């Protein structure tokens, strides 16, 4: 069995590939994995077991139809992790998000049809639902994205549905809550705060810090994605949650404690334009129908992540330093 994983030199996709090649997904123990990644700023070959005999890496652009047509034949399934994902970058410039997240998805779906790919999993986000102060979103909730990033992901989700209904392509969509874990680029809230604190640098907190997010360990997310690949149904959407939601202020307090930092290192910064107040998903569908259950508590997960960054200074320091100006400007919050 051969599968293609796009964007798998990044944070979430690389975790899926490492887990699969470590034989932690029993039904895919013999699967051969092709990774397609353009190695933009967040892609890193150190995230992948490049010498693994069942891994093939191809540098390429998801929008390159010719390369997709050459690459896809013979692959049974495709998992699309390829995306521009940082909200602040999308606010600064939406064009690349539309190109990669929308046009890239469309060209990938077309190429999958031509190649006879059996199943496609489109990895999306809870941000497509917008913001809510009360309740939790089910998969039937209307899409109300509020940033160029979330609008581009919502557009790809709608294309996925259209390719299922119009062409019969077996596309399944997953929508996750905020991810965290090892190998996450230090532009996002948790790795930015952890690496700053471990370096003795201040951390930027948007506004009052009362925005609320539900947090999901990347390992739980990838296990949910694999359940959708192996047990999900064509055309269906599955929310994947971590079960714990806290404010950014509370997250700051937890990270300060874990990193041995004080509140004197917290810098209040102007709030993000159009900052969504709260994301909250109802993931009972994937739990009830596919047997999903997160393994990581937020407490254990944060301890694990902080220790990983302590132990892998060389991995994150280059990325942190190379993008320091951008990180300071964008603040890394989702």
Neighbours of 174 (CB within 10 A): 24
48-88 residue pLDDT tens: 999 999 999 999 999 999 999 999 999 999 999 999 877 87
Q: pLDDT at position 270, please?
A: 83
pLDDT digits (tens, 9 = 90+) for 87-142: 878 888 899 889 999 999 999 999 999 999 999 999 999 999 999 888 999 999 99
- Which pairing describes strands 2-6 and 32-37: parallel, antiparallel, or unpaired? parallel
Residue 208 CA to chain centroid, in angstroms? 26
DSSP H helical ranges for the chain: 11-21, 65-71, 87-92, 95-97, 104-115, 148-167, 189-198, 218-231, 248-259, 284-290, 298-311, 313-322, 324-330
Q: Per-residue confidence of the chain (334 residues) as pLDDT tens digits? A: 999 999 999 999 999 999 999 999 988 999 999 999 999 988 999 999 999 999 999 999 999 999 999 999 999 999 999 998 778 788 888 998 899 999 999 999 999 999 999 999 999 999 999 998 889 999 999 999 999 999 999 999 999 999 999 999 999 999 999 999 999 999 899 999 999 999 999 999 988 899 999 999 999 999 999 999 999 999 999 999 999 999 999 999 999 999 999 999 999 988 777 788 899 999 999 999 999 999 999 999 999 999 999 999 989 887 666 555 444 444 444 4
Name the CATH code of domain 186-213+247-276+297-330 (choices 3.30.300.30, 3.20.20.70, 3.40.50.300, 3.90.25.10).
3.90.25.10
CATH fold of 2-179+215-240, please? Rossmann fold (3.40.50)
Sequence spans of domains, the chain:
2-179+215-240, 186-213+247-276+297-330
- Which amino acids are annotated catalytic? 126-127, 149
pLDDT for 329 equals: 45
Instruction: Report helix, strand or coil for 328.
Output: helix
For residue 33 the two structure tokens come to 């994995």
What pLDDT score does 330 carry? 41
pLDDT score, position 331: 42
């Amino acid at each position: 069995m051969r599968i293609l994983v796009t964007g798998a030199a990044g944070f979430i996709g690389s975790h899926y590939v490492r887990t699969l090649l470590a034989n932690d997904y029993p039904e895919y123990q013999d699967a051969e994995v092709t990774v397609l990644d353009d190695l933009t700023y967040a892609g890193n070959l150190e995230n992948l077991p490049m010498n693994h005999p069942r891994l093939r890496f191809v540098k390429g652009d998801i929008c390159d139809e010719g390369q997709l047509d050459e690459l896809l034949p013979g692959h049974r399934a495709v998992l699309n992790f390829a995306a521009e994902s940082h909200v602040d970058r999308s606010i600064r410039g939406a064009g690349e998000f539309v190109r990669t997240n929308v046009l890239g998805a469309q060209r990938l779906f077309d190429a999958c049809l031509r190649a006879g790919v059996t199943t496609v999993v489109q990895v999306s986000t809870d941000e497509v639902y917008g913001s809510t102060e009360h309740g939790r979103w089910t998969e039937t909730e209307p899409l109300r994205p509020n940033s160029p990033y979330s609008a581009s992901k919502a557009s790809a989700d709608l294309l996925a549905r259209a390719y299922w209904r119009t062409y019969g392509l077996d596309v399944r969509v997953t929508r996750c809550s905020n991810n965290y874990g090892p190998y996450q680029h230090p532009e996002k809230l948790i790795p930015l705060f952890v690496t700053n604190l471990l370096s003795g640098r201040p951390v930027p907190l948007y506004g009052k810090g009362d925005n609320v997010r539900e947090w999901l360990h990347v390992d739980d997310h990838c296990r949910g994605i694999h359940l959708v690949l192996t047990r999900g149904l064509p055309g269906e959407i599955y929310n994947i949650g971590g079960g714990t939601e806290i404010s950014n202020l509370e997250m700051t307090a937890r990270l300060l404690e874990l990193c041995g930092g004080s509140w004197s290192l917290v810098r209040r910064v102007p709030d993000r334009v159009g900052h969504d107040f709260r994301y909250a998903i109802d993931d009972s569908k994937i739990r009830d129908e596919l047997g999903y259950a997160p393994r990581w508590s937020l407490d254990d997960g944060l301890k694990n992540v902080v220790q990983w960054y302590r132990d892998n200074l060389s991995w994150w320091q280059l990325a942190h330093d190379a993008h320091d100006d951008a990180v300071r400007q964008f603040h890394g919050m989702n």
